[in-house]
Structure 1
Amino acid sequence: MKKTERNQRADLPAQIAKALRDAILSGELTADDRLPSEQDLAETFAVSRPTVREALKRLAAQSLIRTERGAFGGAFVRRLSYDEAQAQHASTSTLLLSINEVDFAVACEARYALETSVTTLACARRSTEDLQAMRAEIARQGQAGLSDEDFCASDVALHRRLVDAAGNPILSYQLAGAVEAMQPLMNMITFSARSRSEIVNLHSRLTDAIEARDPAAANAALTGLEAYTLELGQGVIARRQRPRTG
């Protein structure tokens, strides 16, 4: 690990955390490796132990390290699972979209462009369980009395199953932000205006295409979903922006 170049105004914990993070990303420190002790790190970076502790807290907050107590304890490089990474990615994407108020059309374009990237693999690799899960969500969406919240959750679950049907954990991670962050935010805007029967019809077309191993038909169904979502979203936003009279 290289010593940080510092000045009096620098954020020392952030610089130390970055140096350790770079060591992890470069492979100098690998999963389950024990980090040097606080005292050794303090000497390496010529800082106090409280400064080192703050740097370690930042790494722990990023799920890069874990700490253990006892004679054989200390700070260790964390072995992060895909499920944990996906949850963090979706959470970060939700926060990013909420704070920056991304244009609805831009989010819609990105969300469906990302999802169509997995249809070929999903068609080739989908299992019977994948199809059953998607059709179970379609049946759920057609239930009378299903709340808007539950309908939206089912919507997300169906698309997440489509992504996972591609059988590639890296793609599932990359698309977690699209499916579990962008889609719920779009649902929040469009749920009051959309026709559930239209959504169910498009979801059925999508699932039929995946079952038939027909990527072109699957992408056509996603294109239909994108067009419908964009139409609804723009209509809702236009009505909200319309000045009230009287």
Structure 2
Amino acid sequence: MAGGVEQKMIGQAVLKPRQQVEKAIKDAILAGELESGEMLPPETELARQFNVSRTTLREALRTLSSQHLIAKVPGARGGNFVRSVDYRSLGTVMTEAVDNLLALGSIEFDEVAEVRQNLEVPSVRLAAANRSEKDLTELSEIVHRQKTATVDDPEIPDLDRQFHTSIARASGNRVLASFVSSLHNATEPVNYLDLSPEVGRETVRQHVSILRAIKTRDPDAGEEAIVEHLTYLREHIRTYRKH
């Protein structure tokens, strides 16, 4: 107030050169002007375009990299590339964050496994309600491959990942799918199991029960089956990790 008259607000904070560079590149990515996988111009050219020093430019690029908007690839054919910006990239960011926290000991494995179970229950229930014929075909193919695989098949961990993430996608909720995928990648239950033929057969039997519930659109049976499955896995993981 000046002399009792309210002053009109027309000013705003002036961005520093580094922040201006960050904002311009970020806006271009989010607007689709820079597409996923596209390589940014060389750093010398970008510095020239923005009329900033290479130090300022590199600081801006480091910030954009920490935000998972770009990735720096080393080598003669490397450079700064635009990363995917969609619901799948959310899962990637979460996986990296959870992996780092587990490695640092900031969170416990059992905490991640517990949250994963609490997310996979609604995931299966929603999949039972929303699944398409395409989803059923995909899940059936995965289970068939699991039935015919031997316990020492290196494809087993990836088949397990595919099964759980396919259910999450069938839920129709892309955010939920990203969360389930990231937590599954962090826990990687099959990699912790002493995968004997007996454990392998039991795991596949449980997958069949889950798939049957989704196929018959029975969310209650789906919840019962996924809880049995994840509880079974957690018990075996806990036993295996003690040795």
Question: TM-score, normalising length from structure 1?
Answer: 0.69
Alignment of 1:7-86 (within 5 A): 16=18, 20=22, 30-32=30-32, 38=47, 49-61=53-65, 62-64=67-69, 80-86=85-91
Q: State the identity as a percent.
A: 23
Q: CA deviation at 1:124?
A: 1.5
Check if 1:164 corresponds to 2:169.
yes
Alignment of 1:187 onto 2:193: no
Q: Note if 1:217 corresponds to 2:221.
A: yes
Distance across 1 between alignment mates of 2:171 and 2:227: 19
Q: Report the equivalent of 2:7.
A: none
Q: Moved runs in structure 1, 4+ residues, more than 6 A? A: 39-42, 75-79
Number of residue pairs matched?
212
* Shift in alpha-carbon separation, 1:98–1:18, aligned structure 2, 3 A: farther
CA distance in 2: counterparts of 1:128 and 1:169, whole angstroms = 18
User: Aligned in 2, Cα 1:112/1:66: closer, same or farther, shift over 3 Å?
Assistant: closer
* SS of alignment partner, residue 163 of structure 1: helix
Instruction: Give the aligned partner of residue 244 of structure 1.
Output: none
Shift of 1:219: 1.1
Q: Report the residue type matching 2:141 in the other structure.
A: A
Query: What is the aligned partner in structure 1 of residue 233 from structure 2?
Result: 229
Counterpart contact for 2:21–2:57, Cα < 8 Å: no
Quick one: which amino acid aligns to residue 230 of structure 2?
E
Partners of 2:157 and 2:190 within 8 A in 1: yes
Stretches of structure 1 lacking an aligned partner (at least 5 in a row): 5-12, 43-47, 68-74, 241-246
**Structure 2 length normalisation: TM-score?**
0.70
The amino acid that maps onto 2:167 is: L
Would you say the 8 A contact 2:95–2:186 is kept in 1?
Answer: yes
Judge conservation of contact 2:125–2:223 (CA < 8 Å) in 1. no
Gaps of 5+ in 2: 1-12, 35-45, 73-79
**Partners in 2 of 1:170 and 1:97 — Cα distance?**
22
**Contact 1:31/1:78 (8 A) holds in 2:** no
Cα distance between partner residues in 2 of 1:237 and 1:77: 39
Corresponding position of 2:103:
98
| Contact 2:47/2:57, CA 8 A, preserved across alignment | yes
Evaluate the alpha carbon distance shift between residue 138 and residue 17 of structure 1 in structure 2; reply closer, same or farther with a 3 A threshold: farther
**CA RMSD between the two structures:** 3.7
Aligned partner of 2:239: which letter?
G
Shift of 1:198: 0.7
